[in-house]
Chains A and B, each alone.
Chain A
Amino acid sequence: MSSAFELAYPESQPAMASSRGSLHPRLLKAPVVLHASGVTKSYRKGKVEVPVLNGVDIEVVEGEFQAIVGASGSGKSTLLHLLATLDQPDTGEIYFEENRIDNLPASSRDILRNRYIGMIFQFYHLLPELTALENVLMPVMIHHGIISYTLQRRKFRQRAKELLDLVGLSHRLKHRPREMSGGEMQRVAIARSLMANPRLLLADEPTGNLDRAAGEEIMEIIHELNSAYDVTIVMVTHDMSIAAQADRTVRLAEGKVESVSFQS
């Protein structure tokens, strides 16, 4: 455990599962992007309160590819939603680049999701009425007003095309989601998540709904993003073969971090 880490995060508990001891050497000195401590979350089902997370600590450093694994119901998706500020924890704190984000007002969290954190989902979550290109442009459309967007329209479209080219879909610009295969939709979703040039990419079982070949293609893209473009990635998955490729794998069980393993 490094002393620098202790200084940066004095509240962090010694028992937390994030130790850099076995992390890849290139990441040892990297700054922390995301850091959560003591996060709990429970849902109400009628009168019964169902605990999902019971005090989770997690740490993501810049350039890292981290996998969160666990059985169904272990709370891995919920954790990802909390990290993405789509939801708020009952207790505990989440920091993004040393700023606490879990208690921010809704408008600030909206900006955070819009510009700093990219997300991809198991079911792609593209807007069915829009073409691939428009879907990729959506984050900047949300960011900019009509005038501002129109003025920079050319620049934005250029970037969106480059991103679609990056994921190998430059021939699919005008297609609607229902005209594309699952793998293609997921690639559009990846391009969209990169549109705002985020510091962090959160992926919620991106290959969960794809066949092996398409899944492998997606993983290739994700690896390329991580290695060639230095995108920090946190990925929830239940596929152990994918988890094995991660720099760090956090295993959740019953709402707690069961173990942390590093790529050997």
Chain B
Amino acid sequence: MYKLLLSWRYLKSRYIALASIVSVTLGVATLIVVNSVMAGFSDEMHKRLHGILSDIVIRSHDLNGLPDPEWHVNEIKQIAGDDIEAMTAAIQIPAMINFRDNIQGQWITQPITLIGIDQQTYGEVSDFSKYLLHPENRRQLNFLLKENDYGRGKRDRFPVSGWARRRVSAEWEQQAVESQTNDLTTNVLEFDANDIPPSPFPLVDDSGVEGRGETVDGLVEGEVPGVPFQALDEPQLVFDPSTEQHTGIILGISICSLRGRDTNGEVMDYYFALPGDDVKITVPNSGQPPKAVSDSFTIVDFYESEMSEYDSSFAFVPLSKIQDLRGMVDVQSGTKSVSTIQLKLKAGADLNVVKQKLQARFPVQQFGYQIQTWRDMQGPLLAAVQLETTILNILLFLIIAVAGFGILATFFMIVVEKTRDVGILKSLGAPSGGVMSIFLGYGLSLGTVGSGVGLVLGLLFVEHINTIAGWIEKVTGQEVFDPTIYYFNQIPVIVNPVTCVWVVVGAIAIAVIASILPARKAAKLHPVEALRYE
């Protein structure tokens, strides 16, 4: 009984103990905050990586792909059909994109990774559609331009896009062309169109004027295309950008946007092109050696996975479009080839087991396929995050250990100060074990109070971390969490109860361990000498 009473009274009456409590509190709170943020980051990263990459990817080493995807799909179904939830075939090839920057009017060229996808099944193997800006595409993907409403529920200040934008810019372009031709006609007043002799070389060019080749079919018979000024006084029968679109393309949002700060320091996105604009894509064809082939596409949506690596390089188009453009057709069988087959496994299926089955079925010597799980593909990144978490934890635990030595020192002081009390207790018949447990109990209550308060503080901090980051930004003027770097608008946090329990238990253990030595010292004091102590 006296042990409890005295532990409690010593705790209440010693302000120096408060310092130890504060150090334990800070240590525990820091550990919990850091762990939660790290867990949040790593979880966010896992989710994103996994969301973008399907569970298992079979990739052909050759850019021209694996022939006869249907046979492959059937084979895969036979060996691992029970574990597979969904499957899709895709083509992934390097490409160049070329588009006009609508701020400066410059032409921009960038390397990208062009991915041909099956719009029905691609969304089933990964969270691809979740990252699209248009709400309809998020429900069911198609490659048709939408009226407007891009970014609703995702990026709320997204500029007007889609058909709304396309019509306006088509009109503007037409006006620009008209004013140019007006200039031209007023300058050459005497010029009569009928005086021009018919061109000796009728211009029937597949590539058309600036990507309008597809619409050549629409020409009315008898007209001579390509003759200057011919079309001016007639309705535009060629491609009408205000009502028609090219094949749709979904661009990674960073391909044609930049995130920066405006003059007020607010985070702003600058878009060079928007859904509704046209771009040109150049890809190597499947010839020997490959030659570049180009085509026009209309941006129908943006893809924002918030992983800058992907957002700045991925562009998605319909699978058949790439197959046609590149000529990926097997002459003999007439089947079109693909370059990757992606699998999504059922919940609970073992990734590595399925991977090994597939590797056994498609040995690398024979097929030359690379079969990887999503973890393999992002292995180094995931390992780096894991390592970082581990090292941070070790460092922070050292901080608590420092607090432990603080407790040790404090306790030695308190034991020295309490020497006479120990003598009194012993003279009243308190056994050495009892005296020891007063100080152990003291350490225990110190650790418990400290880590309890630390736990509460840490959890509160985690709960309000974004508000706190906001305050710190205001006070210091320094960005704590820069959304232009991380692509998260908020600091992601995950509180893992098991981690919290471990941290608290660890802190209490350190406090108790630190009090063992002083407690033993107190227990060993000779009562007579302790009583004489001044």
Contacts and interface: CB of A to CB of B under 8 A. Distances in A.
Interface of A: 81, 84, 86-87, 106-107, 110-115, 119, 121, 125-130, 134, 138-139, 141-146, 149-150, 192
A125 B427 contact: yes
29 contacts: A107-B431, A110-B426, A110-B429, A110-B430, A112-B429, A113-B427, A113-B428, A114-B428, A115-B429, A119-B428, A121-B427, A121-B531, A125-B420, A126-B424, A128-B421, A129-B9, A129-B10, A129-B13, A129-B421, A130-B6, A138-B428, A139-B428, A141-B5, A142-B2, A142-B429, A142-B434, A149-B1, A150-B1, A192-B428
> Which of B12, B428, B527 counts the most A-chain CB atoms under 10 A from its CB?
B428
Interface of A is mostly: helix
Nearest to A140: B1
B427 A127 contact: no
B429 A114 contact: yes
A61 to B, nearest CB: 24
A86 B5 contact: no
Contacts of A142: 1-2, 425, 428-430, 434
Contacts of A146: 1, 4
B13 to A, nearest CB: 5
Given A115-B429, A141-B2, A142-B429, 9 more contacts: A86-B527, A110-B430, A110-B431, A113-B429, A129-B6, A138-B425, A141-B1, A142-B428, A142-B430
Interface string B231-269: 000000000000000000000000000000000000000
Looking at chain B, what size class is its interface with the partner chain?
20 to 34
Interface in B420-469: 420-421, 423-432, 434
Nearest to B434: A142
B528 interface: yes
Contacts of B4: 146
Pairs of residues from A and B, 3 with the lowest C-beta to C-beta distance, nearest first: A114-B429, A129-B9, A141-B2
Contacts of B528: 81, 86-87
B380 to A, nearest CB: 57
Contacts of A106: 431-432
Interface of B is mostly: helix
Contacts of B421: 127-129
A221 B448 CA distance: 46
Contacts of B12: 129
Contacts of A87: 526-528
Interface in B117-144: none
B429 A84 contact: no
> Which of B10, B12, B429 counts the most A-chain CB atoms under 10 A from its CB?
B429
Contacts of B426: 86, 110, 113
Contacts of B424: 125-127
Contact of A125 (B9, B10, B423, B434): B423
A81 B429 CA distance: 13
B434 A119 contact: no
A110 B430 CA distance: 6
Nearest to A139: B428
Interface string B319-352: 0000000000000000000000000000000000
Contacts of B429: 110-115, 139, 142-143
A106 B523 CA distance: 12
Contacts of B526: 87
A11 to B, nearest CB: 26
B446 to A, nearest CB: 16
A84 B13 contact: no
A167 B2 CA distance: 23
A121 B527 CA distance: 13
Contacts of B432: 106
A150 B5 CA distance: 12
Nearest to B433: A107
B5 A130 contact: yes
Contacts of B13: 129
B284 to A, nearest CB: 83
> Which of A107, A113, A138, A145 counts the most B-chain CB atoms under 10 A from its CB?
A138
Contacts of A119: 427-428
A64 to B, nearest CB: 22
A84 B6 CA distance: 24
